[in-house]
């Protein structure tokens, strides 16, 4: 129960907030969201659990800070705002202060002897849990609980402490981080805010220009949390071939632009740092082992350096706003729709004349989830999350749809060939339906590769030189072939690739003259 001192303090604060206005100007859609939510306050039970969805960059913190101000002005109960990270605690506290709401951050060092002087608390979930277990914080008069980034399941263990409070969860993606703990089990209903497309059309967010690469990811393994393991990701993305692909993708699409790279694993990020540093590019690495001072220095450098490249792991997916970012590189794959939206959202903040930003996807994420900002039915996802999750394509299905095209610089070396493609899957289907051995597929592929080499050569030595350029094309065909025959062990694939190259070189040496004359109508010059 409230003491007389607390009641007097509540009355004082209500008077102070009557005419208090923030320098933050709320947009129409933000005002509309506040009206919708307060309407629920007036009509729903006091222990109602409401979830509000708004895209990253839409101003969720601004909305709920104004809500806290209005709530305290009109109600004689306290407010608690929960976050899952200390940085978000401080940012939220600062925003509330801007709205005239004097608040207390309940961290591990907080002195709670003066808690009667406050009507609004901001706390990190784990710290709050410890304080409540120790009975250090009086929450008997909490009327409103706001949960930022509500899709994290760590908050749910605290719900039992607030059985008589109105709980408002806010998130950009109302899909639980744990398939076994759907959000519909903890929230009574969902209010959907503005779409990403509407925010882009009205100049609140920048539009993403996506460049996606067809990635072979079947070596990745799924961990107990439902996402790709760090180990399997690092094995793949720390390989020289993948690091080279990343660097080339950056040079092609974002040279000289401020770039934020997301990785799955500290070792990968460090390898990315060394790769870009060796190329003479301005790059720094940041992960959760950095001290507070180091992190501040790195982020200051990133903000102030126009062509800065920052390679990172996990920690910048939430609570980090840097509108000067021009490019987001997803140097990882994820099974999490929320993480996908969070990573790309870091580049969507508008600034001056910035109306678009670049996304380079090296994890088949765009194939897996669809374009960032697509018109997702959040109500359907909220009510039937498993139906949505189960429909997300697996990597094998995604990769089966890839059409491999030669890079332009290699295709130009085969300019005399009208068509350089070869459909392994179709040739396999045709051969097996005719009762032929699957081996004929690779034999016909070798003959086709040899033909385009000979078409663009004057002698066998030229042809053998061109065959060396077909390494990636050969690798792609072998991978497709092994899927057709359902044999994909690492050693077998390596053996097939080596055997293919040997047979291609042998074919060129043995058949160059014959094929050359067949193509041109005359024999090659001696």
Q: pLDDT tens digits, residue range 501-510?
A: 999 999 999 9
Q: Which of 3-7, 98-102, 421-425, 440-444 has the lowest average pLDDT?
A: 3-7
> If you average pLDDT over residues 172-192, what whole number do you get?
89
Backbone φ, ψ for residue 39 (5° rounding): -60, -35
Mean pLDDT of all residues in 363-392: 91
Among residues 191, 208, 211, the alpha carbon closest in space to that of 200 is found at: 208
**β-pairing, 309-313 with 327-330?**
unpaired
- Span 451-455, average pLDDT: 97
Cβ neighbours of 247 (radius 10 Å): 16
Nearest 5 degrees, angle CA 384-CA 389-CA 390? 100
Of 318, 60, 57, 377, give the one whose Cα is nearest residue 207. 57
**Predicted local distance difference test score (pLDDT) of residue 254:** 96
8 or 399: which leads in pLDDT = 399
Question: For residue 363, what pLDDT is reported?
Answer: 96
CA-CA distance, 314 to 286, in Å (whole number)? 9
Asked whether the predicted pLDDT for residue 14 surpasses 80, the reply is no
Look at phi and psi of residue 280 and say left if phi exceeds 0, alpha if psi is from -120 to 50, else beta: left
With cut-offs at 50, 70 and 90, classify the pLDDT of residue 137.
Answer: confident
Whether 351 shows a pLDDT value over 70: the answer reads: yes
pLDDT, position 371: 94
Per-residue burial over 248-274, b = 16 or more CB atoms within 10 Å of its CB, e = otherwise: ebbeebbeebbbbbbbbbbbbbbbbbe
**Residue 397: pLDDT above 60?**
yes
Asked whether the predicted pLDDT for residue 9 surpasses 70, the reply is no
pLDDT at residue 431 tops 50: yes
Structure confidence at residue 24 (pLDDT): 67
Instruction: State residue 178 phi and psi, 5-degree precision.
Output: -130, 120
Count, residues in the chain: 526
Contacts of 303 (CB under 8 A, 6+ apart): 322, 324
For 19, other C-beta atoms within 10 Å of its C-beta total 8
201-253 pLDDT per residue, tens:
999 999 999 999 989 888 889 998 889 999 999 999 999 989 999 999 999 99
Percent of the residues in the chain that have a pLDDT greater than 90, as a whole number: 61
pLDDT tier for residue 131 given thresholds of 50, 70 and 90: confident
Name the average pLDDT for the chain: 89
How does residue 18 score in pLDDT terms, banded at 50, 70 and 90?
very low
Q: Residue 154: which pLDDT band, with cuts at 50, 70 and 90?
A: confident
Q: Are strands 120-124 and 78-83 parallel, antiparallel or unpaired?
A: parallel
Task: Using alpha carbons, list the distances in angstroms from residue 220 to 214, 314, 333, 365, 390.
Answer: 15, 18, 9, 14, 19
Q: Is the pLDDT of residue 22 over 80?
A: no
For residue 20, pLDDT over 70 is answered with no
Three-class SS state of 98: helix
What per-residue confidence (pLDDT) applies to 180? 82
Does residue 105 have a pLDDT over 50?
yes
Residues whose CB falls within 8 Å of the CB of residue 339, separated by 6 or more in sequence, listed in order: 227, 317
Q: What is the mean pLDDT of the segment spanning 297-306?
A: 95
pLDDT for 25 equals 79
Q: Which residue has the tokens 């277990």?
A: 133
Give the pLDDT mean for 276-291.
95
- 459 Cβ contact list (under 8 Å, min separation 6): 512, 524, 525
Half-sphere exposure of 117 (CA within 13 A, CB side): 7
**85 pLDDT exceeds 90?**
no
pLDDT above 50 (res 255): yes
φ and ψ at 350, to 5 degrees?
-85, 155
Q: What is the DSSP string of 110-161?
A: --GGGGGG-SEEEEEHHHHHHHHHTT-S--TTEEEEEEETTTSGGGGGGGGG
Indicate if the pLDDT at residue 5 is higher than 80: no
- Is the predicted pLDDT of residue 15 greater than 60, yes or no? no
Q: Using the predicted structure, report yes or no on whether residue 399 has a pLDDT greater than 90.
A: no
| pLDDT at 11 exceeding the cut of 60 | no
Q: What pLDDT, on the 0 to 100 scale, is given for residue 305? A: 96
Q: How many CA atoms lie within 13 A of 290 on its CB side?
A: 20
| Of residues 27, 57, 24, 41, the one with CA closest to residue 145 | 41
Please check the confidence at residue 479 and state whether its pLDDT lies above 80: yes
**pLDDT confidence of 90, banded at 50, 70, 90?**
confident
Residue with tokens 């506290």: 93
Output the CA–CA distances (angstroms, integers) from residue 168 to 67, 147, 217, 297, 391, in the order listed: 11, 6, 39, 35, 29
- DSSP symbols for 450-499: HHHHHHT-SSHHHHHHHHHTTHHHHHHHHHHHHHHTT---HHHHHHHHHH
Decide: residue 28, CB within 10 A, 0-12 exposed, 13-18 middle, 19+ buried.
exposed
Cα 496 to Cα 405, 490, 503, distances in angstroms = 21, 10, 10
User: Does 164 score more than 60 pLDDT?
Assistant: yes
pLDDT on residue 299: 93
Q: Measured in whole angstroms, how far is the alpha carbon of residue 485 from the centre of its chain?
A: 33
pLDDT at res. 71:
92
pLDDT tens digits for range 211-224: 999 898 888 899 98
pLDDT of residue 410: 93
End-to-end CA distance of the chain: 103
pLDDT of residue 16: 57
């Amino acid at each position: 129960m409230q003491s007389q001192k607390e009641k007097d303090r509540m009355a004082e604060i209500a008077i102070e907030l009557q005419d208090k206005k923030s320098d933050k100007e709320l947009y129409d859609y933000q005002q509309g969201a506040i009206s919708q939510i307060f309407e629920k306050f007036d009509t729903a039970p006091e222990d109602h659990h409401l979830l509000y969805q708004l895209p990253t960059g839409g101003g969720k913190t601004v909305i709920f800070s104004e809500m806290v101000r209005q709530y305290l002005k009109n109600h004689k109960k306290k407010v608690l705002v929960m976050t899952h990270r200390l940085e978000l605690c401080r940012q939220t506290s600062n925003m509330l202060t801007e709205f005239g709401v004097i608040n207390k951050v309940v961290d591990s060092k907080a002195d709670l002897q003066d808690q009667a002087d406050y009507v609004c608390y901001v706390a990190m979930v784990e710290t709050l849990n410890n304080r409540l277990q120790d009975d250090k914080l009086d929450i008997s008069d909490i009327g409103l609980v706001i949960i930022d980034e509500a899709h994290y399941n760590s908050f749910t263990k605290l719900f039992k402490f607030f059985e008589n409070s109105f709980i408002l969860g806010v998130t950009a993606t109302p899909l639980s981080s744990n398939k076994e703990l759907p959000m519909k089990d903890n929230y009574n209903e969902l209010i959907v805010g503005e779409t990403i497309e509407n925010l882009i059309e009205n100049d609140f967010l920048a539009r993403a220009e996506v460049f996606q690469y067809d990635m072979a990811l079947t070596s990745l393994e799924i961990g107990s949390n439902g996402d790709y393991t760090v180990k399997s990701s690092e094995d793949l993305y720390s390989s020289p071939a993948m690091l080279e692909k990343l660097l080339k993708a950056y040079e092609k699409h974002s040279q000289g632009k401020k770039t934020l790279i997301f990785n799955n694993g500290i070792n990968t990020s460090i390898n990315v740092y060394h790769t870009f540093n060796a190329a003479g590019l301005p790059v720094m690495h940041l992960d959760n082992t950095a001290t507070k001072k180091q992190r501040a220095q790195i982020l200051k450098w990133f903000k102030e350096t126009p062509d800065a490249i920052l390679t990172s792991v996990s920690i910048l997916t939430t609570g980090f706003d840097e509108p000067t970012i021009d490019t987001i590189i997803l140097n990882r794959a994820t099974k999490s729709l929320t993480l996908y939206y969070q990573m790309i959202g870091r580049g969507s903040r508008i600034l001056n004349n910035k109306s678009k930003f670049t996304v380079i996807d090296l994890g088949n994420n765009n194939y897996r989830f669809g374009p960032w900002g697509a018109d997702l039915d959040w109500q359907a996802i909220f009510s039937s999350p498993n139906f949505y999750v189960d429909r997300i394509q697996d990597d094998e299905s995604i990769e089966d749809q890839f059409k491999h095209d030669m890079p332009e610089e290699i295709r130009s070396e085969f300019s005399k060939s009208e068509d350089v493609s070869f459909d392994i899957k179709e040739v396999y289907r045709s051969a097996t339906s005719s009762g032929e051995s699957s081996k004929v597929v690779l034999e016909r592929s070798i003959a086709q590769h040899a033909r385009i080499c000979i078409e663009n050569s004057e002698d066998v030595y030229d042809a053998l030189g061109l065959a060396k350029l077909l390494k990636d094309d050969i690798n792609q065909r072998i991978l497709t072939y092994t899927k057709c025959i359902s044999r994909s062990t690492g050693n077998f694939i390596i053996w097939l690739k080596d055997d293919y190259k040997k047979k291609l070189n042998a074919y060129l040496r043995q058949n160059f003259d014959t094929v050359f004359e067949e193509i041109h109508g005359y024999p090659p010059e001696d």
